[in-house]
Every structure is written in C-alpha cells, then in structure tokens.
Amino acid sequence: MSAAQSDGGGAPLLRVDDLRATYDTEGGVVRAVDGVSFELRHGEVLAIVGESGSGKTATSLALLDLLPKHIGKVVGGSAEFDGIDLTKLSAADMRAVRGARIAMIFQDALTALNPVHKVGKQISEMIRAHQRVPRSQAWERAVDLLEMVGIPNPRERASNYVHEFSGGMRQRAMIAMAIALEPEILIADEPTTALDVTVQAQVLDVLLGLRERLGMSIILITHDLGVVARAADRVMVMYGGRKIEEQTTEGLFANPQHPYTKGLLRSMPRLDSVIGDRLTQIPGAPPSLVNPSEACRFAPRCDFARPICDEQYPAQVSIGSGSQVACHAAGDPTWETNT
Amino acid sequence: MSEPLLIVRDLVKHFPQYEQRILTKRQTGSVRAVDGVNLDVMAGETVGLVGESGCGKSTTARLILRLIEATSGSVIFDGVDVLNADDEALRRLRRQMQIVFQDPYASLNPRLSVREIVGEGLRIWGETADFDKRVGDLLDRVGLNRRFLDRYPHEFSGGQRQRLGIARALAVRPKLLVLDEPVSALDVSVQAQVLNLLVDLRDEFDLTMIFIAHDLSVVRQICDRVAVMYLGRIVELGDRDGIYTRSTHPYTQALMSAVPVPDPVHERERERIPLEGDPPSPLNPPSGCRFHPRCFKAETICRTEDPPLIERVGGHECACHFPEVSNVT
C-alpha cells in the first residue's frame, strides 16, 4: 500500500499540532520538542529522522505520556487521535489507548522485555490486561502472534525466556507483543538499529508485512536514511526539537529543500558509489536546547545563512503536495542554497 | 613487489568455555572466534574488515596488536614476529601499532586531562621536550582547540572524544593504525567529519590502516581493499571495487543486498538475497563451508569440503565452491 492509495482524502488518523515537551535537567529546562506539527494518515509509514537530541524520540514519548516521570512533561499543543486529544487524557484513559490502539516498540528489546517471565506469558498478559479472555486462549493467541512475526517453532518458543532468543528474535517478540491488540498506530523507535544488516532486513520486512495485513499506520523513528528509503511513504526531518522539512520519501531524496537535509544526504557514504575523496561535511555540532534562541537552530552550521536567520525562526512554508520546509531561503528564488 | 608491512598467517583464537559446578570447573568446548585468518597488508594501504557481530573482526584486530594472546598462527609486522616478541620488543612494536576504539565514552579515562591522555605515549617514551606544544599541535591536527589541554573527557561530545582517541593514537607516530568501528557511535553529520579527518591524516602521517566496521557504506568510502568475514574466517578478499561491484561469495552478496541504499527509487528496485535465521554459533561451527546452512546455492560438496580462500573468478579471492560474479549494490 502506498501513501497515495492509503490517503484516500479522509481525515488523518493522528493530527499533532504545535506539540511542546520539556525535560528538566541540572543544566536547565531542555525544550526537547518545540512546536512540532504533523499528520499521520491511515495505513502509511511516516518516518521521523534526525540526529541524537533532535527530538524524534521525545515526540513519540510525549504522544503516549511516556516521558520520564518528574523530568519530562508536555507543556503545550495537542495530538488529536480519533476525536480525543492524547495530551489531555487522564492516566487511566491513556492506559486504555496505549498498547491497545497505539503501541510502541523500542530499539533495545532486551530491556523492554521482562527477563523472568516466559515470552508467551508476557504477550498473553498484555492481551489479558486489555481483554477478558481465558488464560489458555490468550496463550494460543500469543503463539499465533509469534508465528505471524516469523519466529520458527512458535509453540516451543513461547515457553522460552528472553535470554534464549537472539537479537533479531527478541525484536520480533517485541513486535508480536505490540501488535497483539491490533493497534491502529505502531510507533517503532529505531527498531533495527542494534541489529546486523541481514537481520535488520528481516525485521523491516516483518513490520511492512504487518502493516499490509493489519492495515496499521506506522511512525518509524530512525537515523538511517537507507531504512527510510526502503520503508517510508513520507518523511519528516527534525533538527533541534523542531520539524524542519516534510516530504514524500521520493520527494525528499530527489529534491531536498532544507540546507540541513541536503547536507545530511550528501554526508552519507554510499554502498552503491564512492563520493570522491572526501564526504561533504556539516561543520559544527547540533545546538543545545537549554534556552535555545528564537533564531533558526541550524543557522550557526548553515553555509547559506543571512542576518535574518540569526534573528527569527523561519515559518513553516508549504511547497506543494503536502510538503513543508522551515527555511528563510525557501520560496526566495534569489537565495541559492545549493553548493 | 615490496614485502607487506603486516603478514598474518593461519591466525587462530579459541576461547575455552567452562561449565562451573560448585567445586569443579570443566571445559565444555571452545568458541572459535578466529579460525584461520590469512591477510597481507601493504604499507600505505587501508584494509577494511567487515562482517556481522561475532564474525571475529574485532578479535582479529586485537590478536594482530597482541592485546590478547593467539591460540596459534603468526603475525609478522615489519619483519618482527609479534606473537613471539619479548617484553622489550613488544614495547617497541606498540609504538608502531596503535588502535582507536569504538566507544568514545569508555575508551578515555575520565580522571585524566586531555594533556595526560594525548601525551601519555610521549611521556612513556621520554619525549617531554616542548610537551605542551607537541600535544597542542596534535589537538590542532585533529581539529580540536589547543586550549583544551586542561579539560577532561566529560566536557567533550562523542565526535570530539573520538578525535581525542585519534590524537592519542597518533602521538607516537605509528605506522599502523587499527580503527575498530571508529564512527559507528557517531551521528551522520559528525561521522562525515571524522571520516574526512582520517583520510587527511592517512596522507599526512603515511598511515597504514586496518578499518573494522559493520557499515559497508563507510568501508566503501575509505578502504582500498576489503576482507569479508564470516564465523571466524575471511570468505572474500579483494580490492574495493572488486568486492563492491563484482562480489562472488554468496554471503558477501547477501550481506550487501541487505544494506538499504539512501535512494528510494534505486532501493525499491534492488533485488535482495534473503538470509534465513541468524549466524550459527562459533561454539560449534558447521562442517564443510561454514556458510552452507544459510546458503541458497549449497550442494553436497559444501557440507563436506571446506572451500579454501583462493582466486577463482572476478579477480579476487573467494572461499566458495560455486562463485559467480554479481553486482548487488
């Protein structure tokens, strides 16, 4: 299913508007998510890409009220999902949504799964926490789920503990748990980052296969632009807690707009070619998000910055067919941003 | 042709496994982490060691530097027998062979200042004349401010720490630099900075490099030759373009076909060679060709006969009974 087919012109499944979240740290208040807006459509894979500290994980944690207790909190904006604002839900109401209707999987399956319970038991407990089904029936469902994610001998494997699984199987088990209640949205946070490439390919195939089979929408958080190219329908690029660009996957790779996106694509070594002697590099390092300025966050590292970039944050400009970019140079034909 | 700077022959490392009972401990087997590696490295070239977790690439590097003792085999560096060198000879060798580690957080002592970390090698060799200037020059050279001499590792970002690790390795002017996943902990934009720095330093210091990485795209960018490892062995070895555009071993082909390319149009047309399951345990490697249980072309001979690493087709060495040239990138 491609984005075009799945869109269907209907209302988006999830509409995030001006979401803001902060972390309290010793150094001050970190504005980890600083006014992020996006939509997720039925059946699509939306990738959120960015480097460490860009706010991609914080965005998804904020949606599910999973920010670290006492440190992280949502301080503004809304996230409308099927007529309800996720940011306004009580803890009890959120528990009914989280896991059942919006599920999340993490990079590190070993710490996300419980080492002292059998894998099948963890999955069936998850089912029984949301649905009134007998234990034996939930166990059978767990075995079916393990089979669905491609674990060989699922009946025997359901009785294993996590440490008896390889890295790829753990990730599959976590996916099985996440899809147990057939959620409408699956948030996958760096699901393949810790895996070897051959296993990474298997796990991505499982995720995309489940999307077709269950009609889920997926938010795929990753720093790997190769994974984005393989799996995503649309991409949103984050930098310094903000969304700086959003396009279809084809559009982003063929015609990136923001100088940061352009730099990122050019700084990647390629399997399919050699880029001269030197890679294009983006000078400097990502900004601190403690009391960030109101200027463009990328301006200090941008080769094309002009005085206005140090003065005010650029507005989100629509560049046709649902694409957006936040750059002062966008739409100004006299402002060249290509090297 | 001149003599290689480094000659590795039949290098083997088995880690014994024990079963611990209350009073007794008995050996139950051994992990054959490196199981017969042969490799020549010419002066000035950069050789990439690639493969998935557990293939033995890091262990091979540590054996070459004699950071761990080999079970058997030989390593000759610049005419010196590394594995049989006495303490004094080893001390001199270590000056010639340096390593940069993957984890920029764990590999720098948090209690030492930059001056002490980067200058440690100089101090050991008694080269303390103009000490601060020499350490400062090294910092300059790796793109760090020379005023950082009195700072401590926690004040630096991951990319800056990796630069410190590189400066520390270069302080004693080594001939061979081993880089064990030097950029895999770094973000893409910082990774490009460090890779460019390594290319510059390679030219400036006439370095020979062994570059270990699981990221095949990074290796293609920086290496002259590439060795693909699987379960403790090199299965394919050749110059970069040969390995990437004319690979012949089915494992190399499957591995490369699994790497997603950051180009959606090309990526969605590429044919993938799926590999079933995970690599087998090096505790009990399969008979014959070690790759045969996961290989899509395996035949009877593959189960019984271990194919040697020799030149077959495509102009480079390959350990497969049925090699075929293919471009899967």
This complex has an ipTM of: 0.87
- Judged by CB atoms closer than 8 Å, whether chains meet at B221 and A270 is answered as yes
Q: What is the pLDDT of residues B209-232, one digit of tens each?
A: 999 999 999 999 999 999 999 999
Give percent helix, percent strand, percent coil of chain B, each to the nearest 5: 35, 25, 40
Q: Which residue, chain included where needed, has tokens 């060691």?
A: B49
In whole angstroms, give the CA distance from residue B229 to residue B300: 23
Q: What is the pLDDT of residues B245-266, one digit of tens each?
A: 999 999 999 999 999 999 999 9
pLDDT of residue A9: 54
In whole angstroms, give the CA distance from residue A268 to residue A265: 6
Cβ contact A120:A139 at 8 Å: yes
Rounded-to-10 torsion of CA A317, A320, A324, A330: -50
Among candidates A201, A223, A282 on the partner chain, residue whose Cβ is nearest the Cβ of B258: A201
Phi, psi of B287 (to 5 degrees): -70, 165
Cβ contact B166:B100 at 8 Å: yes
Going by their DSSP bridges, the two strands B46-50 and B208-213 should be labelled as parallel
Determine how many CB atoms are found less than 10 A away from the CB of residue A332: 12
The residue-averaged pLDDT of A53-71 equals 94
A189 - beta bridge partners? A221
The residue-averaged pLDDT of B1-23 equals 89
In whole angstroms, give the CA distance from residue B321 to residue B309: 10
Interface of B with A in 69-128 (CB under 8 A): none
The residue-averaged pLDDT of A242-249 equals 96
Q: Which residue, chain included where needed, has tokens 């803890």?
A: A91
Q: Would you call A333 exposed, middle or buried from its count of C-beta atoms within 10 A (0-12, 13-18, 19+)? A: exposed
In chain B, pLDDT over 70 holds for what percent of residues?
A: 100
Residue B290 pLDDT class (50, 70, 90 cuts): very high
Contacts of B216 (CB under 8 A, 6+ apart): A197, A271, B50, B255, B256, B259
Q: What is the pLDDT of residues A261-290, one digit of tens each?
A: 999 999 999 998 887 778 888 988 888 888
Contacts of B190 (CB under 8 A, 6+ apart): A51, A285, B157, B158, B159
In whole angstroms, give the CA distance from residue A331 to residue A186: 35
Cβ contact A158:A143 at 8 Å: yes
Query: Which run of H or of E encompasses A91?
Result: helix A91-97
Q: What is the pLDDT of residues A6-54, one digit of tens each?
A: 444 578 999 999 999 999 998 899 999 999 999 999 999 999 999 888 9
Give chain B's mean pLDDT. 93
In whole angstroms, give the CA distance from residue A165 to residue A161: 7
Q: Which residue, chain included where needed, has tokens 């490892």?
A: B229
Among candidates B188, B274, B329 on the partner chain, residue whose Cβ is nearest the Cβ of A223: B188
Q: B259 in contact with A at a CB cutoff of 8 Å?
A: yes
Closest alpha carbon within chain B to A199: B278
Q: Is the pLDDT of residue A4 over 80?
A: no
A22 - beta bridge partners? A73
Q: B251 in contact with A at a CB cutoff of 8 Å?
A: no
Gyration radius of chain B's alpha carbons: 21
* Local structure of residue A286 (DSSP, 8 states): P
With beta carbons under 8 A apart, name residues in chain B contacting A167.
Answer: 53, 278
pLDDT of residue B1: 56
Q: What is the pLDDT of residues A146-193, one digit of tens each?
A: 999 989 899 999 999 999 998 889 999 999 999 999 999 999 999 988
pLDDT of residue B13: 96
Closest alpha carbon within chain B to A54: B187
- Judged by CB atoms closer than 8 Å, whether chains meet at B256 and A271 is answered as yes
DSSP class per residue in A100-137? TTEEEE-S-HHHHS-TTS-HHHHHHHHHHHHS---HHH
Token output for A116: 């002292």
pLDDT of residue A337: 85
Domains and CATH numbers, chain A: 14-101+181-269+279-337 (3.40.50.300), 115-180 (no CATH)
Cβ contact B311:B317 at 8 Å: yes
Contacts of A97 (CB under 8 A, 6+ apart): A64, A81, A84, A86, A89
Determine how many CB atoms are found less than 10 A away from the CB of residue B261: 22
Phi, psi of A200 (to 5 degrees): -55, -45
- Judged by CB atoms closer than 8 Å, whether chains meet at A268 and B192 is answered as yes
In whole angstroms, give the CA distance from residue B242 to residue B251: 15
Between residues A9 and A260, which one has the greater pLDDT? A260
